[in-house]
Amino acid sequence: MTHNQYTLESPSAPRRTRLRELWQLFRENKLAILGLIIFVLFFMTAVSGVILTSGQRPVFDPAMVRLQEKLLPPLTRPHLESLHPTEVPTLGIYLFGTDDLGRDVFARMLQGAWVSLTVGFVAVGISVLVGIFMGGIAGYFGQEYICLDHILIAFILSAGGTLLSIGSIGSGSACLGVGLLCIVYRLFSKILGEKLQSPGLLHKKAISIDTIIMRAVDIMLCFPSFFLILTVVALVPASMYNIMIVIGLTSWMGTTRFVRAEFLSLREQDFVTAAKALGVGNFRIIFRHMMPNAVAPVLVSATIGIATAILTEAGLSFLGFGVPPPHATWGNILSDGKRFIFDAPWLTFIPGIGILIVVLCFNLFGEGLRDAMNPKLRERG
Amino acid sequence: MVSFIGRSMVQKTVTLFFVSIVSFLIIHLAPGEPSQVDPLNPKFTPEMVERFRKEFHLDKPLYVQYIYFYRDLFTGKIVSWKDNQSVLIKIWERFLNSLPLFIVGTILTWTLSFPVGIRSAIFRGGLYDRSATFLSYLLISIPGFFFAYILIILVVTTLHVPVIGMETFGLGASSWGNMLMDRIWHLLIPSVLGATGGIAVLSRYVRSQMLEVEGQDYVRTARAKGLPPDQVHYKHALRNALLPFVTMFGLILPGLIGGSVIIESIFSWPGMGRMAYEAILARDYPIILTVNFISAVLVLAGTFISDILYLVVDPRIRL
């Protein structure tokens, strides 16, 4: 009774925080919990995998070639008499069999797990960062206009950069100098107020920032994504980092649209006006006040983006691009094994099922998160 | 309406122009040159490389190359760097090979996903719905190449029919019926593979649309009137749920040129995707750029068509 009176009379914060509430809703979704558990397991496997398979004398050597032991099915014991003591697999058994060079598939899967994990996370990290940055600018500063003189300065600077990279140092640095002078001049005129005013034509409003960013999104969406990634990956030198960067830089458009839409509605809300009235700086408003409120749909799309990135990386490895050969990835184990598909089906099925399970867990987790964040469901809880 | 069409035409042309610039820059600024693809080939003497560079304007500055390329593209004179054949003819031939895959795949996608999605929505939360949901997650998550090999193993070991390529080699003398069955078998598995992702995504989408409409007041009214459930589901609810899908007809257009690189290379299918893949390996820039340009045109045309269709079918949207 007294407790009831207390809650009625004093205005207090909700007893459960938002995160707690989210977790309660999320817990009801069994598939999503399964996804979360598999994700944690996969994460631990990948981290222990990179520790156990790297270094001078790794515990599991993914590159150890034993030609006399090739294409052994899973769970076979090695022929101890024909092997050098250092060549015997650590577990004393080929857990996942061996491939056509007699390499231990279990060790190779461990090594490949790390590639899948990092490619997924770093690529999505890049795309989310770019997406939040572009979307935030488009949503928050979208109504500002770019004037002709900005374009002019940008043009001079980029021309200078191009000339420098081509090799004509004289004219290049001249252009860069002129551009920098213009920027300094603009900054000065801003500080000194309206006294130093350049001609009126240059201050004509040309195009809004929102338009520029959204048209850039449209342009990027015109490219067929897998084909674009394939083209760029084939042209740049093969390495894991290039793949991450390329996947990240070709998948930020969705996040940009989400964040922009959220920001457009958030910037009209009272707490933003209040923060502005208190004199909080623009970037503090964006990152401290608005971003936490806009991050929910980004989180969901990022989780599903990780799944897509892992699939893309596997596809690239399968086609023979990507991480260079001695290093194992799940895609290239499968691609190497496809020649022995009828004799050694485990070379296809083990990495294939591995990819399937990991991608599935990210998809289930992301969908569970989306359901839990759905306001229609939240009111019930 | 007319002003909307005009405005979006202008906007899309500008977008296309920038796409052409960006794709050109991506390809030409990347490290490596097409003349250096095969440095170990003894036929590739420095004089040959020089002649090659001159022949294809590679010694000119970038903007001149850009103008030359798009002039050739629009006059239809553009040739492949590898074999000097016309790019447009090459693409057309490969396109005709990819077309059956695309048509069968699209038909499969659109005929299968609607019944599945509608049934899931009607029996929401039941065993059917839950298994369909899980199955669609499974199909979204399975890597295409892995699924391809599972299907190959299944079909080859149980039915003993060859599936790689477009037709079985050396079958010319057999009867007409055999030839037809052979073609169908070869066509079926790649198109099923091409359709799986689409079926999974589209059936989920149909389900959520149906659920949304089933919660509307007019559906409750129809039910309260005592109409039979079938009539409520298929007449009152379904018709309204179909609205967003009309616009999706425009969005399948880009699939025409894409072709799946992975599926076509697994099945040795001489289609668009494989041609693009081979062009990338050989650094055959004219083919890469032309495929890119055509697919950008199709994406823009697709969004344009879907906007127009939305205008036509949804009376609430007026410009």
Tens-digit pLDDT profile for residues B210-241: 988 888 899 999 999 989 988 888 888 888 88
Name the residue among B140, B144, B299 with its Cβ closest to that of A221: B299
Provide the greatest CA pair distance for chain A. 91
Q: Is A118 exposed, middle or buried (0-12, 13-18, 19+ CB in 10 A)?
A: middle
- Give yes or no for residue A4 having a pLDDT over 60: no
Q: Is A318 on the interface with B (CB under 8 A)?
A: yes
Distance CA B143, CA A248 (A): 19
Q: Is the pLDDT of residue A124 over 90?
A: yes
Over the stretch A256-303, which tens digit does the pLDDT of each residue have?
998 998 888 888 889 989 998 999 888 888 888 888 888 888 888 899
Query: Does the structure show a pLDDT above 50 at A196?
Result: no
Q: Give the pLDDT mean for A372-380.
A: 62
Span A93-97, mean pLDDT? 80
Nearest-CA residue of chain B relative to A165? B29
Is ipTM strictly over 0.90?
no
B140: CB partners within 8 A, 6+ apart: A363, B197, B200, B201
Share of chain B above pLDDT 70, in %: 91
Residue A357 confidence (pLDDT) above 90: yes
What is the structure's pLDDT at A2? Answer: 47
Q: Examine the pLDDT at A203 and tell me if it is beyond 70.
A: no
Kindly determine whether residue B254 and residue A223, on different chains, have CB atoms separated by under 8 Å. Answer: no
More confident site: A181 or A311: A311
Cβ neighbours of B277 in A, within 8 Å? 230, 319
Give the DSSP H/E element, type plus range, for residue A215.
helix A209-221
A74 burial type by CB count under 10 A (0-12 exposed, 13-18 middle, 19+ buried): middle
Helix (H, G, I), strand (E, B) or coil at A179: helix
Closest-approach residue (CA) in chain A for B62: A166
Angle at A334 between CA A328 and CA A335, to 5 degrees: 90
pLDDT of residue A306: 92
Residue B63: predicted pLDDT: 80
At residue A44, the pLDDT reads 92
Predicted model pTM: 0.84
For A324-333, the pLDDT digits (tens) are 777 888 888 8
Short-list B295, B293, B312, B200, CA closest to B256? B295
Q: Hey, are the CB atoms on A319 and B261 less than 8 Å from each other?
A: yes
Residue A71, by phi and psi: left (phi above 0), alpha (psi -120 to 50) or beta?
left
**Per-window interface: A 135-164 vs B, CB < 8 A:** none
How near does any CA of chain B get to the CA of A82, in Å?
34
Question: Mean pLDDT across the stretch B20-46?
Answer: 72
| B262/A227 CB distance under 8 A | no
Residues of A in contact with B254 (CB under 8 A): 224
Most A-contacting residue of B145, B207, B287 (CB-CB within 10 A), to test interface: B145
Mean pLDDT along residues B95-124: 89
| Residue B319: pLDDT band with limits 50, 70, 90 | low
Token code pair at residue A135: 């979307």
Question: How sure is the predictor about A131, in pLDDT bands with cuts at 50, 70 and 90?
Answer: very high
As a whole number, mean pLDDT of residues B168-184 equals: 72
Reported as a single tens digit per residue, the pLDDT across A13-45 is: 666 677 787 788 788 888 888 889 999 999 999
Tokens 């496809």 belong to A338
Which residues on chain A are in Cβ contact (under 8 Å) with B299? 221-222, 224
In the prediction, which pLDDT does B35 show?
60
The pLDDT confidence band at residue B124, using thresholds 50, 70 and 90, is confident
A210 contacts A143 by C-beta, under 8 angstroms: yes
Tell whether A221 lies on the interface with B, counting CB pairs under 8 A. Answer: yes
Query: Which has the minimum average pLDDT: A2-16, A65-79, B160-174, B288-302?
Result: A2-16
Contact A315, A226 (CB under 8 A): yes
- At residue A381 the predicted structure's pLDDT band, cuts being 50, 70 and 90, is very low
- Residue that the structure tokens 């977790």 belong to: A23
